[in-house]
Amino acid sequence: MTTAPMLETRRLNKRFGGVVAADNIDLSVETGELRCLIGPNGAGKSTLFAMLCGIQRADGGQILLAGRDVTHMQAFQRVRLGVGLTFQTNRAFHQLSVRENLAIPRIPHDAERRALGAERLAVALETFGLDPEDETRAGELSHNQLQWLEIAMVLSGYPDLILLDEPAAGMAGEETARTATLLKRLNATGLTIVVVEHDIAFVKEVAQSVTVLHQGRVFAEGPVEAITANEEVRKIYLGK
Ligand code: ADP
Ligand code: MG
């Protein structure tokens, strides 16, 4: 018997007027995989994430989570099934404290999932040096701390799959490295991760496999070494 992938899309489509943001996207991510999604600006990466978590409705095609068709499910229903997502734009509540922000995404789960979820959250808090009892308002945190808090918030929902859209955007080298370290640590616990990131060094550091989007299509896919060496990919993505 074969197990269904953690995440699968079948011929997923999305248009905004004349712009085709998703053009028959077929994607398959296995349980425990750490996949990087790359592509030039406007390739459709954020739109794909928005459709995966149920914020944007697909025009056509299917989305499956662990074999279950969630195409027509609302975002909150998908979260209950274990999808977590952070956005490019900040989502933590600036008026609330770190502690309060971390308390928001709690969802009732069985004991096994709670134990694993709590362990992953603890790894994140430790890696980022965040204190879950911190009463500092999120609005007073630095840019990096806020981005880290948002990753921790996603983990507070104890997901099986997380989608991170540019988690290291605007970070300097040391913080980017810390973010990469966390993704590898989380992945080592079995968490499935799909991450959009522009920084090729980051991609090389964390990814096992890479999917390249270009003009709403899957342009290339494969092991990170092959993709970063691919001439066509370098042309559209790296501009050389
Ligand atoms: P990426 O995240 O890869 O930079 P996006 O998914 O943000 O790409 O955008 C893909 C394409 O869809 C772009 O041409 C963008 O302008 C367009 N687009 C995205 N969101 C909207 C929207 N809400 N309304 C209109 N056009 C959009
Ligand atoms: Mg984007």
Residues 51/63, Cβ–Cβ less than 8 Å: yes
pLDDT at 164: 93
- Dump strand ranges (E) for 41-197: 60-65, 68-69, 83-86, 161-165, 192-196
Cα-Cα-Cα-Cα dihedral sign, residues 87, 208, 65, 52:
positive
Q: Quote the percentage of the chain above a pLDDT of 90.
A: 71
pLDDT above 80 (res 30): yes
What does the pLDDT read at residue 150? 93
1 within a domain of the structure (yes/no)? no
Q: What is the mean pLDDT of residues 101-113?
A: 79
Can you give the pLDDT at residue 1? 57
Ligand closest to Cα of 16 equals 1
Going by C-alpha positions, the residue among 123, 130, 122 that lies closest to residue 147 is 130
Cβ atoms of 211 and 193 closer than 8 Å: no
Ligand 1 atom nearest to CA at 40: 3
Provide the percentage of residues in the chain whose pLDDT is more than 70: 94
Taking the centre of ligand 1 as the mean of its atom positions, its distance from the CA of residue 47, in whole angstroms, is: 6
135 CA distance to ligand 2 middle (Å): 32
* Neighbouring residues of 89: CB distance < 8 A, sequence distance ≥ 6: none
137-160 pLDDT tens trace: 999 999 999 999 999 999 988 889
pLDDT grade, residue 81 (50/70/90)? confident
* Separation between Cα atoms, residue 127 and residue 183, nearest integer Å: 10
Nearest CA among 162, 148, 82 for reference residue 114: 82
pLDDT of residue 240: 47
b/e sequence 145-165, b meaning 16+ C-beta within 10 Å? bbbbbbbbbbbbbbbbbbbbb
In a domain, 23, yes or no: yes
**Atom 26 (ligand 1): residue with closest C-alpha?**
16
Query: Is residue 121 assigned to a domain?
Result: yes
CATH number of the domain at 194, please: 3.40.50.300
Amino acid letter, residue 108: P
Distance 238 CA to ligand 2 centre (A): 16
Q: Looking at residue 44, what DSSP letter applies?
A: S
In a domain, 2, yes or no: no
5 lines ligand 1 (CB under 6 A): no
* Residue 198 confidence (pLDDT): 85
Q: How many domains does the chain have?
A: 1
* Boundaries of domain holding 38: 7-238
The structure tokens listed for 119 are 């362990």
Ramachandran region, residue 158 (left: φ > 0; alpha: ψ -120 to 50; beta: rest): left
Query: What is the pLDDT averaged over residues 66-94?
Result: 83
19 CB less than 6 Å from ligand 1? yes
User: Ligand 1 test: best mutation among 14, 15, 16, 217, most atoms within 8 Å of CB?
Assistant: 16
- For this complex, say whether ipTM is above 0.95: yes
Q: Does residue 167 sit within a domain?
A: yes
Q: Does pLDDT of 85 surpass 70?
A: yes
Cβ neighbours of residue 149 closer than 8 Å, sequence gap 6 or more? 92, 98, 101, 102, 130, 138, 141
